[in-house]
Amino acid sequence: MPVKDYVYMTEPAGKAIPRPDEWHLVDRLKKGDAAAFKLIVESRKDLVYNTAIGLLQNAEDAEDITQEVFVKVFESIHQFKGESAFSTWLYKIAITKSLELIRSRKRKKRFAFVTSLFGENNEPRYEPADFVHPGVQLDNRERAAKLFKAISQLVDNQRIAFTLHKIEGVSYQEIAEIMGVTVSAVESLIHRAKANLRKILEDYYKNQS
Protein backbone atom coordinates (compact mmCIF):
# COMPACT_ATOMS: atom_id res chain seq x y z
CA MET A 1 0.00 0.00 0.00
CA PRO A 2 1.37 3.49 -0.88
CA VAL A 3 2.66 5.59 2.00
CA LYS A 4 0.06 8.32 1.48
CA ASP A 5 -2.79 5.83 1.95
CA TYR A 6 -1.73 5.15 5.53
CA VAL A 7 -2.32 8.80 6.43
CA TYR A 8 -6.04 8.39 5.93
CA MET A 9 -6.34 4.96 7.55
CA THR A 10 -6.83 6.63 10.91
CA GLU A 11 -9.54 7.24 13.47
CA PRO A 12 -11.70 10.37 13.13
CA ALA A 13 -10.20 13.58 14.56
CA GLY A 14 -11.07 14.12 18.19
CA LYS A 15 -11.04 10.46 19.23
CA ALA A 16 -8.41 9.81 21.89
CA ILE A 17 -5.76 7.39 20.65
CA PRO A 18 -3.25 5.88 23.09
CA ARG A 19 0.30 6.94 22.17
CA PRO A 20 2.68 3.97 22.13
CA ASP A 21 6.36 4.29 22.94
CA GLU A 22 7.45 6.49 20.05
CA TRP A 23 11.14 5.71 20.41
CA HIS A 24 10.34 2.04 19.87
CA LEU A 25 8.10 2.91 16.90
CA VAL A 26 10.79 5.11 15.38
CA ASP A 27 13.30 2.27 15.64
CA ARG A 28 10.82 -0.09 13.99
CA LEU A 29 10.10 2.42 11.22
CA LYS A 30 13.82 2.81 10.53
CA LYS A 31 13.80 -0.92 9.85
CA GLY A 32 10.97 -0.50 7.35
CA ASP A 33 8.05 -1.56 9.59
CA ALA A 34 4.92 -0.17 7.90
CA ALA A 35 2.75 -1.04 10.92
CA ALA A 36 4.90 1.23 13.09
CA PHE A 37 4.40 4.04 10.59
CA LYS A 38 0.61 3.60 10.75
CA LEU A 39 0.73 3.84 14.57
CA ILE A 40 2.81 7.02 14.39
CA VAL A 41 0.31 8.56 11.97
CA GLU A 42 -2.62 7.62 14.21
CA SER A 43 -1.05 9.07 17.33
CA ARG A 44 0.35 12.27 15.80
CA LYS A 45 -1.93 13.24 12.92
CA ASP A 46 -3.90 15.73 15.06
CA LEU A 47 -0.70 17.51 16.12
CA VAL A 48 0.36 17.94 12.49
CA TYR A 49 -3.10 18.89 11.18
CA ASN A 50 -3.77 21.42 13.95
CA THR A 51 -0.39 23.06 13.39
CA ALA A 52 -0.99 23.27 9.65
CA ILE A 53 -4.52 24.60 9.89
CA GLY A 54 -3.46 27.21 12.45
CA LEU A 55 -0.89 28.57 9.99
CA LEU A 56 -2.67 27.99 6.68
CA GLN A 57 -6.25 28.74 7.79
CA ASN A 58 -7.63 26.38 5.19
CA ALA A 59 -8.86 22.86 5.94
CA GLU A 60 -8.10 21.33 2.53
CA ASP A 61 -4.58 22.77 2.51
CA ALA A 62 -4.03 21.51 6.05
CA GLU A 63 -5.09 18.00 5.00
CA ASP A 64 -2.68 18.10 2.05
CA ILE A 65 0.17 19.32 4.26
CA THR A 66 -0.59 16.63 6.84
CA GLN A 67 -0.18 14.00 4.15
CA GLU A 68 3.04 15.61 2.89
CA VAL A 69 4.46 15.73 6.42
CA PHE A 70 3.95 12.02 7.01
CA VAL A 71 5.34 11.14 3.58
CA LYS A 72 8.40 13.19 4.58
CA VAL A 73 8.57 11.36 7.92
CA PHE A 74 8.47 7.99 6.16
CA GLU A 75 11.14 9.00 3.66
CA SER A 76 13.42 10.85 6.11
CA ILE A 77 13.06 8.90 9.35
CA HIS A 78 16.79 8.05 9.33
CA GLN A 79 17.51 11.79 9.63
CA PHE A 80 15.82 11.83 13.05
CA LYS A 81 18.67 11.24 15.50
CA GLY A 82 16.68 11.56 18.73
CA GLU A 83 18.44 14.76 19.78
CA SER A 84 15.04 16.38 20.37
CA ALA A 85 11.54 15.11 21.11
CA PHE A 86 9.87 13.40 18.16
CA SER A 87 7.05 15.97 18.40
CA THR A 88 9.62 18.77 17.95
CA TRP A 89 10.84 17.17 14.73
CA LEU A 90 7.25 16.81 13.51
CA TYR A 91 6.46 20.45 14.31
CA LYS A 92 9.51 21.56 12.32
CA ILE A 93 8.44 19.59 9.26
CA ALA A 94 4.82 20.78 9.52
CA ILE A 95 5.88 24.42 9.87
CA THR A 96 8.37 24.20 6.99
CA LYS A 97 5.79 22.62 4.67
CA SER A 98 3.11 25.16 5.70
CA LEU A 99 5.39 28.16 5.16
CA GLU A 100 6.45 26.83 1.76
CA LEU A 101 2.79 26.77 0.72
CA ILE A 102 2.13 30.24 2.15
CA ARG A 103 5.11 31.68 0.25
CA SER A 104 4.01 29.93 -2.93
CA ARG A 105 0.57 31.51 -2.56
CA LYS A 106 2.11 34.96 -2.11
CA ARG A 107 4.22 34.56 -5.25
CA LYS A 108 1.16 33.53 -7.26
CA LYS A 109 -0.85 36.43 -5.84
CA ARG A 110 1.89 38.92 -6.77
CA PHE A 111 2.12 37.44 -10.27
CA ALA A 112 -1.67 37.67 -10.72
CA PHE A 113 -1.55 41.32 -9.66
CA VAL A 114 1.27 42.15 -12.08
CA THR A 115 -0.37 40.38 -15.01
CA SER A 116 -3.66 42.14 -14.28
CA LEU A 117 -1.88 45.51 -14.71
CA PHE A 118 -1.13 44.52 -18.30
CA GLY A 119 -4.64 43.31 -19.00
CA GLU A 120 -3.86 39.59 -19.11
CA ASN A 121 -6.17 38.78 -16.25
CA ASN A 122 -9.42 40.71 -16.27
CA GLU A 123 -11.35 38.41 -13.97
CA PRO A 124 -12.35 39.94 -10.62
CA ARG A 125 -10.41 38.67 -7.59
CA TYR A 126 -12.29 37.71 -4.44
CA GLU A 127 -11.05 37.74 -0.90
CA PRO A 128 -11.22 34.27 0.73
CA ALA A 129 -13.96 33.71 3.28
CA ASP A 130 -13.07 34.34 6.91
CA PHE A 131 -11.38 31.30 8.43
CA VAL A 132 -12.60 29.86 11.71
CA HIS A 133 -10.53 27.23 13.54
CA PRO A 134 -12.59 24.02 13.92
CA GLY A 135 -11.99 24.03 17.68
CA VAL A 136 -13.70 27.41 18.22
CA GLN A 137 -17.10 27.44 19.91
CA LEU A 138 -20.02 28.60 17.78
CA ASP A 139 -20.77 31.72 19.85
CA ASN A 140 -17.14 32.90 19.51
CA ARG A 141 -16.78 32.34 15.78
CA GLU A 142 -17.15 35.92 14.60
CA ARG A 143 -14.48 37.21 16.98
CA ALA A 144 -12.26 34.21 16.24
CA ALA A 145 -12.50 34.85 12.49
CA LYS A 146 -11.22 38.41 13.01
CA LEU A 147 -8.42 37.15 15.23
CA PHE A 148 -7.24 34.54 12.70
CA LYS A 149 -7.37 37.11 9.91
CA ALA A 150 -5.16 39.34 12.05
CA ILE A 151 -2.78 36.44 12.80
CA SER A 152 -2.35 35.87 9.07
CA GLN A 153 -0.93 39.42 8.80
CA LEU A 154 1.90 38.76 11.26
CA VAL A 155 5.43 38.12 10.02
CA ASP A 156 6.31 34.42 9.85
CA ASN A 157 8.29 34.05 13.08
CA GLN A 158 5.68 35.90 15.15
CA ARG A 159 2.87 33.90 13.56
CA ILE A 160 4.63 30.60 14.29
CA ALA A 161 5.44 31.43 17.92
CA PHE A 162 1.98 32.84 18.67
CA THR A 163 0.11 29.98 16.96
CA LEU A 164 2.14 27.26 18.64
CA HIS A 165 1.86 28.76 22.13
CA LYS A 166 -1.56 30.39 22.23
CA ILE A 167 -3.49 28.03 19.97
CA GLU A 168 -1.66 24.69 20.23
CA GLY A 169 -0.45 25.10 23.84
CA VAL A 170 3.21 24.32 23.10
CA SER A 171 5.66 25.39 25.82
CA TYR A 172 8.18 28.20 25.33
CA GLN A 173 10.98 25.65 25.69
CA GLU A 174 9.71 23.40 22.89
CA ILE A 175 8.93 26.38 20.64
CA ALA A 176 12.53 27.51 21.15
CA GLU A 177 13.75 24.07 20.05
CA ILE A 178 11.38 24.01 17.07
CA MET A 179 12.42 27.47 15.88
CA GLY A 180 16.11 27.15 16.80
CA VAL A 181 16.10 30.23 19.05
CA THR A 182 16.35 30.95 22.78
CA VAL A 183 13.41 30.91 25.17
CA SER A 184 13.80 34.67 25.70
CA ALA A 185 13.58 35.15 21.92
CA VAL A 186 10.31 33.19 21.90
CA GLU A 187 8.96 35.36 24.71
CA SER A 188 9.91 38.46 22.72
CA LEU A 189 8.26 37.13 19.55
CA ILE A 190 5.01 36.39 21.37
CA HIS A 191 5.09 39.81 23.09
CA ARG A 192 5.54 41.55 19.71
CA ALA A 193 2.86 39.35 18.13
CA LYS A 194 0.37 40.37 20.84
CA ALA A 195 1.22 44.05 20.37
CA ASN A 196 0.82 43.81 16.60
CA LEU A 197 -2.44 41.88 16.89
CA ARG A 198 -3.78 44.49 19.29
CA LYS A 199 -2.96 47.25 16.81
CA ILE A 200 -4.43 45.37 13.83
CA LEU A 201 -7.66 44.65 15.70
CA GLU A 202 -7.91 48.18 17.11
CA ASP A 203 -7.53 49.60 13.60
CA TYR A 204 -10.15 47.14 12.31
CA TYR A 205 -12.76 48.07 14.92
CA LYS A 206 -11.93 51.76 14.56
CA ASN A 207 -12.61 51.55 10.82
CA GLN A 208 -15.87 49.70 11.50
CA SER A 209 -17.23 52.41 13.79
Cα end-to-end distance, the chain, whole Å? 57
Q: List the CATH code of the domain at 1-126.
A: 1.10.1740.10
Q: For helices 34-56 and 86-117, what crossing angle results, to 10°? A: 50
Angle at 194 between CA 178 and CA 150, to 5 degrees: 95
> Looking at residue 144, what is its pLDDT?
76
Model pLDDT for residues 112-126, shown as the tens digit of each residue: 444 444 444 444 443
> Looking at residue 106, what is its pLDDT?
66
Per-domain boundaries in the chain: 1-126, 130-209
Cβ proximity of 29 and 40 under 8 Å: yes
Q: State the fold for domain 130-209.
A: Arc Repressor Mutant, subunit A (1.10.10)
> Looking at residue 32, what is its pLDDT?
94
Q: In the chain, which stretches have pLDDT less than 50?
A: 1-20, 110-128, 137-138
Model pLDDT for residues 32-56, shown as the tens digit of each residue: 999 999 999 999 999 999 999 999 9
